Amino acid sequence: MARKFTPKVLTANDLLEGDVIYMTADGTWVRAHEQAELIEDETIAEMRMLTAQGQQDRIVGPYLADATMGPNGPEPTHFREVFRTKGPSNYFMGKQADSANAE
Amino acid sequence: MYTYTDFDEAFVRERCKQFRGQVERRLDGSLTEEEFRPLRLMNGLYLQLHAYMLRIAVPYGTLRADQMRQFAMIADKWDKGYGHFTTRQNLQLNWPKLKDIPDILDALADVQMHAIQTSGNTIRNVTVDHFAGASADEFEDPRPTAELIRQWSTDHPEFQFLPRKFKIAVTGASTDRAVIRAHDIGLEMAEKDGQPGYRVLVGGGLGRTPMIGQEIRDFLPKADLLPYLEAIVSTYNVLGRRDNKYKARIKITVFENGIDTYRTLTEEEFQRTRAKFSGVDQEILADIETQFALPPLKDSDASALEAAIAVDPMLGRWVARNTATHKHDTHAIVTISLKEHGKTPGDATSAQMRVMADLAEKYGYNELRVSHEQNIILPHVAKSDLPAVFTALSKAGLATANAGLTSDIIACPGMDYCALATARAIPVAEKIALRVKELDLEDEIGLMKIKISGCINACGHHHVGHIGILGLDRAGVENYQITLGGDGTEHAAIGQRAGPGFAYDEVVPAVERLLKAYLEQRDSAEETFLDAYRRLGADPFKEALYGEASQTAA
């Protein structure tokens, strides 16, 4: 029997920058996890993957990652995905620094 | 040191040009990622967790001041102002942009460097003893051999698509500082009846199935090196498994077929390969050897050093810890620690790179080495210059006197950078180093090798750490297994797993308990942790980790 589908976000790395990106409900790419679409239906997940795979000229390595809804939008559930939303823990670099600059 | 020939120069420039075209075609959509990936990996370009990563080859860990300075320039111009020196004696940049890679490769080529074969299923950067050409216990400099292997293996048409990556290490000293027993091929320079040659080991490796290399030839005459290596790798290329990535390394091939069968097949192949070599390789080697001659060393008065130490105990401590015995007693080998307590093992800022380059130029005969233990070496420094070197390093945060001590930890990038990692390694290393500093136990503990990997691939060499730490993902939580008794030297041993793993917050206290148990149980200050472990067995250390109950439960 197929396993129950758990909510996901679609994520990849940006081809040019190499940084972590997420897909929104309208099929565009954003840098912030909470702006991603939380996909709760397996059929939609498959369709989003097909869309992403058709965007080889701007993204690399799309995959679906487990997520859950939080107060500000989807949040990662696995620590690997948490690291991807922040950057390394040894330096204040990557997304954590980018979002600090943006504020 | 080796200087590029016109052939080398043309080859590297041509490769830069090809890769520039490949990047352009990837960016304009004519190459898919699937098509581009093997091309970028051939040129050392990975896509990691947060960004691209470029792995730059430092052939056999040897570089000049201008090359180190160019690293600093590249780190400032195209990255975030620092670099990470690795256990393959390479340099990794963690934040380059795809569009900049061709310019970076051009800038590397300007100083005779490249990133070729730092990834992919090819023969990787050959590593050697980081004290090569300098150490008192060395009988022959392994670098000419490594350079010959580099020339032979670079773009070798038969070996661009091996079943898996392939790593070779060479040593020419009685102490194995190059971990040759954990390599696909380990070469030990040797002599028989007055003739130079090699003892050849095969089938070592770490990763998920750690194995110690076995002897395939007790003595190989020097002139037979390349045909014999070609025979070993050809045999592997045909026999090695391609059905399962995890069983594709030569250690599995040797293990599954047995060393005797592997030797027989290699020797048969060797009869064919030897006939193809005309001897021109030995002419090339003879020329390479002249380029690695020891520089004419200046006179040095060691009494000046003694006088300086008499008034500066910090200098004395650093000289005692971070210098090694040079083959000329007027000189010393300096280990520049990239392990300041609480900092990332192996990282250097661009400013630190420039300081190291300047010191190499001013006091070190223009030579630097990258050690597999993620430090930088100045192989030849006059003893009378050590105070000046120490002062300059101190100002740059590079004079931590901890070479070979508990905080001199190898750690892979782990989940802070690596897409393959299952847990973090760097913060664990940082926290252990800070803790032993706080306890002020390092000098008392003495020689200690802690090695940390953030996944089972073992880039952090945890299997050969006296204390090895392996970070895993256990049900969505970081968990750390501890192994004990590993050894990467000529007495190589694979560490044994102590028991159940520890949570992220528990691993530093667990290591602390091990260190204290050792101090309590050693028979003298001369008995190292590893010696004590070998004498006492695992039980007292398991007890320190898990309490007395573990003894009956285990």
Q: What is the largest CA-CA distance in chain B?
A: 68
pLDDT tens sequence across B18-46? 999 999 999 999 999 999 999 999 999 99
Q: Are residues B335 and B454 in the same domain?
A: no
Predicted pLDDT at B354: 98
The SS3 call for residue B502 is: strand
In this structure, are B285 and B309 located in the same domain?
no
Task: Identify all chain B residues contacting A83, using CB atoms and an 8 Å cutoff.
Answer: 49, 415-416, 424
SS3 B95: coil
d(CA B189, CA A91): 42
Q: In chain B, which residues have their Cβ closer than 8 Å to the Cβ of A15?
A: 26-27, 33, 98
Report the pLDDT value the prediction gives residue B302, as an integer from 0 to 100. Answer: 82
Distinct helix (H) and strand (E) counts, chain B: 19, 21
Q: Do B72 and B145 share a structural domain?
A: no
Same domain, B193 and B234: yes
Structure tokens at B38: 């093997």
Residues B346 and B232 placed together within one structural domain of the fold: no
Residue A18 and residue B80: Cβ atoms within 8 Å?
no
pLDDT of B552 reads 46
ipTM for the predicted complex comes to 0.95
What tens digit of pLDDT does each residue of B62-92 get?
999 999 999 999 999 999 999 999 998 999 9
B147, B283: one domain: yes
State the DSSP H helix or E strand holding residue B146, giving kind and residue range, or none if neither: helix B143-153
d(CA B15, CA B155): 10
Q: Is A83 on the interface with B (CB under 8 A)?
A: yes
* Domains: count for chain B: 4
Nearest of B155, B262, B140 to residue B204 by alpha carbon: B262
Instruction: Sort out which chain A residues have CB atoms less than 8 A from B96's CB and list them.
Output: 18
Task: Report, as an integer, the average pLDDT of A70-98.
Answer: 96
Name residue, tokens 């090694």: B324
Rounded distance, CA A79 to CA A87, Å? 12
CA–CA dist B461, B263 (Å, integer) = 27
Note whether residue B496 is domain-resident.
Answer: yes
| Residue B33: domain span | 6-109
Interface test mutation site (partner A, options B36, B39, B416, max chain A beta carbons within 10 A): B416
Q: Which amino acid is at A10?
A: L
Same domain, B274 and B150: yes
Residues in A touching B51 (Cβ below 8 Å)? 17-19, 94
Type of residue at B261: T
Task: Return d(Cα A95, Cα A30) in angstroms, integer.
Answer: 12
Work out the mean pLDDT of chain A and round it to a whole number.
Answer: 93
3-state SS track over chain A: CCCCCCCEEEEEEECCCCCEEEECCCCCEECCHHHCCCECCHHHHHHHHHHHHCCCCCEEEEEEEEEEEECCEEEECCHHHHHHHHCCCCCCCCHHHHHHHHC
Sign of the alpha-carbon dihedral angle for B514, B518, B519, B521? positive
- Does B307 share its domain with B271? no
What is the domain partition of chain A in residue ranges? Answer: 8-102
Q: How far apart are CA B142 and CA B131, in angstroms?
A: 10
Of B338, B371, B395, the domain-final residue: B395
Residue B196 shares a structural domain with residue B270: yes
Q: Which element (helix H / strand E) includes B25?
A: helix B6-27
Those residues of chain B that have pLDDT short of 50 are: 552-554
Name the residue with tokens 């679409």: A37
Using a CB–CB cut-off of 8 Å, the residues of B that contact A are: 26-29, 32-33, 47-52, 80, 94-99, 344, 347, 415-417, 424, 426-427, 430, 473, 476-478
Among residues B267, B291, B315, the one where a domain terminates is B291
In-domain check, residue B172: yes
Amino acid making up residue B179: V
- pLDDT score of B301: 85
Largest CA distance in chain A: 48
Based on the domain organization, do B351 and B455 belong to the same domain? no
Give me the CATH number covering residue B48. 3.90.480.20
pLDDT of residue A102: 57
Task: Report if residue B116 sits inside a domain.
Answer: no
Integer CA distances (angstroms), B365 to B298, B325, B377, B420, in order: 10, 17, 12, 39
pLDDT tens-digit profile of A28-49? 999 999 999 999 999 999 999 9
Region A5-9: what's the mean pLDDT? 96
Q: In the numeric block, which tokens belong to residue B441? A: 């136990």
**DSSP state at residue B211:** B
Q: Could you tell me if residue B297 is inside a domain?
A: no
End-to-end C-alpha distance for chain B, whole angstroms: 54
- Banded model confidence at residue A3, pLDDT cuts 50, 70, 90: confident
Q: Are residues B154 and B284 in the same domain?
A: yes
Instruction: Read off the CATH number of the domain in which B204 is found.
Output: 3.30.413.10
